[in-house]
Chains A and B, each alone.
Chain A
Amino acid sequence: MIEMIQVNHQFAIGKKGKERVVPVLHDIDLHVKQGEIVAIVGRSGSGKSTLLNLMSGYIRPTSGTIRVADQEVTSLSEGEWANFRLAHLGFMFQSFQLIPSMTAFENAELPLVLKGIGVTQRKKRVMELLEQVGVAEYAGHYPGELSGGQQQRVSVARSLILNPPIVLADEPTGSLDSDNERQLLSLIQHLNQDRGTTFVLITHDEQVASIAHRTVSLKDGYLLNADKKEGIFAHEIH
């Protein structure tokens, strides 16, 4: 489903003309199968978010090839990436990233609006999903009027509204208490089992990693041996 072959990435920092190149990812080879939940773990600065941003198309690799949903995405233009995201990807963010001036309903329906789906179909689909994630009664509320857990559920509804085959989640439970974290993880497992949705989760959290079929670890931009689930956190800690 997602294939990264010899992907390298480096940032240029500093003033123009006096930039300093900082390598972030080195020779990443990663394969995520369809229907898999993969957790990417690692310390801060290890390159986890950069890896996810490469999969999302927010940044382009310095070298290497990325294939998502059987499509070579490395050379897509910005416009093509926009269409590709709408067709194949759902996104969950640590800080929910809801638009403050829109209600929960409007935030959740945004991908449908961008795709040009009609009003009647949108209303039905959004209310079903808000019901499913348990925030239907807050449909008319603005993000500022919702708790962190409720906001994340709206964000989840938005990420799933177009039934994407792949969901990329950056620290999805980072802003949630343990109860809400548990409920979200349960929802992710459910969706994975019922719909076969592929999840790539970036996390620090062992509990989040525990629902993954496979956990891969990043250290200083290098992908460590990732086939065995056990012992990775112990390895990181020591």
Chain B
Amino acid sequence: MKFTDQFRFVRQNMKKNKTRLFMTVLATAMGCTFLIVLASVGFGLQKSIVDQMVVDRMVTAIDIYGIESENEVDRVIGAKNIEYLRSVDHVKAVTYRNYVQQPLNPTVDGAAASSNGTVNVDFDAETKAGFGLSSGRLPQKPDEVVIGFNIRETREGASEGEGNKPKADTPPAKEWLGKVMSLQVRQLAEDGTEQTATIPVTIVGISEKPSREWETDTFVYIGNEILTRIESFTQTQWGAMLLPADKDNPDSANGNQPLGLQDPRQYNSVQAIADGANHVKGIAEEIREKGYYSHSIANELKQVNLVFLIMKIGLGFVGTIAVLIASIGIFNTMTMAVTERAQDIGIMKAIGAHPSTIRRIFLLESSMIGLLGAIIGTAVAYVISIAVNIGLPLVIEGFMEERVPEDFIFSLIPPYLAAIAFLISLGVALLSGSRPAKRATRIDVLRALRRDI
């Protein structure tokens, strides 16, 4: 018997008792919806919380805070440590952020930028780590720099004497792409007078917009070549200015003067970037053995994800119980259908219907019920999920006077969750129909023909 004919049979049979069919499909759909919506809460909360954790942080990054040592001076990360970290297996780059220790008052076309600092980075390492740019590119020449996304905010208005303008009116930083920025480096001469040098640099990139609303990036990112030019003028590490000598006690400033170029360097905000999230643990263990203090978001994520995995399994289990309850309805419907059609089945068997054909027809019918229930249930689950994500923050704000973070989602249905729920509903429907289908194949022809079933 062809599949199309089996399908036609099933459709004819299903039309015989539409109310019963409707109720069975409804029960299956409700079970499927319940399963998806429950699990989607686990997925939604996990995503929102993990997103909050990893925003601006790479899961492949390992923060290095220092190195174990009895001597305080030796706890800081120096050039040798950077070299070691670069040599560790599966570390693709080591990045750092070192602040130039004086304001360079950057200007472009005579307009002051609202920069709150200049940061020295290793652009070769940043290229490998994936420095986030909103426009432009990373520097390729010694005099090229990247500027922060918000570098033109606030001070533009202030310079025009209008106070801080709303951010919407601030011209975008990318308008400065390709322009020359002047950096003013100052240093005290031996006679105590302040001397200034201007370093022209070219803006080639704009950093990524900070993901958190309250964050701003107004830094100027410079490479090692520009830092060298600054330091050659100041003759101090990180361009720090010398302290003026106290007239009464000329020796007082000497002990607190900034480090000179010959002194060992200290690197800040050091990160080792792994070439894959699966290598983070191994790298962290290896450098921990060498005495490095480190922390990785991957460690936190692992624990959080484990908690949510358990939560999702629990919610999915509760949801599956709902589908199993719905399966009782399918079993009942199919058993009734077999009983009602016993004579028809007997006649079909009497003229040559194969038992497997009879079984397939009933299995097809129960799977059709499961399929209809799963389709409707999945569609309703998506609608509920959207409604929850829109409605719940409003309810929380309205009744609890708490503000839900922007982009926080309570319910998330990844395609594979819908697919799993779909398969569970279909599988349970098939399982529910299997016993009645088997019963149908065992109907006695003679009893059916005598109509005494």
Contacts and interface: CB of A to CB of B under 8 A. Distances in A.
B19 to A, nearest CB: 17
Nearest to B9: A113
B354 A79 contact: yes
A159 B449 CA distance: 15
A93 B449 CA distance: 9
B12 A82 contact: no
A91 B16 contact: no
Interface in B1-27: 1-2, 5, 12, 16
Interface stretch (B102-110, B213-221, B344-352, B429-437): B344-352
Which A-B residue pairs are the 9 nearest by beta carbons? A86-B352, A85-B352, A82-B354, A58-B445, A99-B344, A113-B5, A97-B347, A116-B2, A114-B353
B52 interface: no
Interface string A91-120: 101010111111000000011011110000
5 contacts: A56-B350, A58-B350, A82-B353, A113-B2, A115-B1
A114 B16 contact: no
Interface of B: 1-2, 5, 12, 16, 343-344, 347-357, 445-446, 449
Given A58-B445, A116-B2, A158 B355 contact: no
A158 B354 CA distance: 17
A82 B441 CA distance: 12
B446 A58 contact: yes
A5 interface: no
A68 B57 CA distance: 81
A59 B444 CA distance: 10
Interface of A: 53, 56, 58-59, 78-79, 82-83, 85-86, 89, 91, 93, 95, 97-102, 110-111, 113-116, 158-159
A5 B288 CA distance: 91
Nearest to A116: B2
Nearest to B353: A114
B5 A79 contact: no
A225 B1 CA distance: 44
A97 B356 CA distance: 22
B354 A110 contact: no
Contact of B351 (A59, A100, A110): A110
B353 to A, nearest CB: 5
B439 to A, nearest CB: 14
A113 B353 CA distance: 10
A91 B351 contact: yes
Contacts of B348: 99, 110, 114
Contacts of B5: 113, 116
Contacts of A53: 446
A111 B5 CA distance: 12
Contacts of A101: 12, 16, 344
Contacts of A100: 344
A1 B336 CA distance: 41
Given A59-B446, A101-B12, A101-B16, A114 B347 contact: no
Contacts of B352: 82-83, 85-86, 89, 111, 114-115
B445 A114 contact: no
Nearest to A82: B354
Given A79-B355, A102-B12, 16 more contacts: A56-B350, A58-B445, A79-B356, A82-B349, A82-B354, A82-B357, A83-B354, A86-B351, A86-B352, A98-B347, A99-B344, A101-B12, A111-B351, A114-B351, A114-B353, A116-B2
A99 B351 CA distance: 12
Contacts of B355: 78-79, 82
Contacts of B347: 97-99
Contacts of A95: 449
A166 to B, nearest CB: 13
Contacts of B445: 58
Given A82-B353, A97-B347, A97-B350, A116 B1 contact: yes
Contacts of A59: 446
Nearest to B347: A97
Nearest to A117: B2
B362 to A, nearest CB: 15
Nearest to B448: A97
